[in-house]
Amino acid sequence: MAEPFCGRLRALLAESAAALNLRHHRQGTVVTIEGPRFSTRAESHMFRLLGADVINMSTVPEVTLAREAGICYQSIAMSTDYDCWKEARSRSPGR
């Protein structure tokens, strides 16, 4: 699982995003936590120190099953909770 996502599909999605003039990142490191829950700020800081770009709860088990079955799979992530990365914006109710 060193490379869980499909490089060909990643390139196609990046090319499509560029053609549509959408802001995007060609690659990144995803950490998956058990949901349904947001990570705590302390967890988010730890994951960031470990090199995570995105924390989510929706790539496992899908990516694992696709990789084992030889299916080309790619994830598209959109930030909805900035947590420790944009602290001024993370002051949502209940946090």
Is 83 one of the annotated active-site residues of the chain? yes
Spell out the residues 6+ positions from residue 37 whose beta carbon is closer than 8 angstroms to its own. 57
> Could you say which of 32, 63, 73, 83 is catalytic?
83
Rounded CA-CA distance 3/6 in Å is 8
> Could you say which of 43, 53, 62, 81 is catalytic?
81
CB 71 within 8 A of CB 63: no
Rounded CA-CA distance 37/26 in Å is 27
Is 53 one of the annotated active-site residues of the chain? no
The residues carrying an active-site annotation are 81, 83
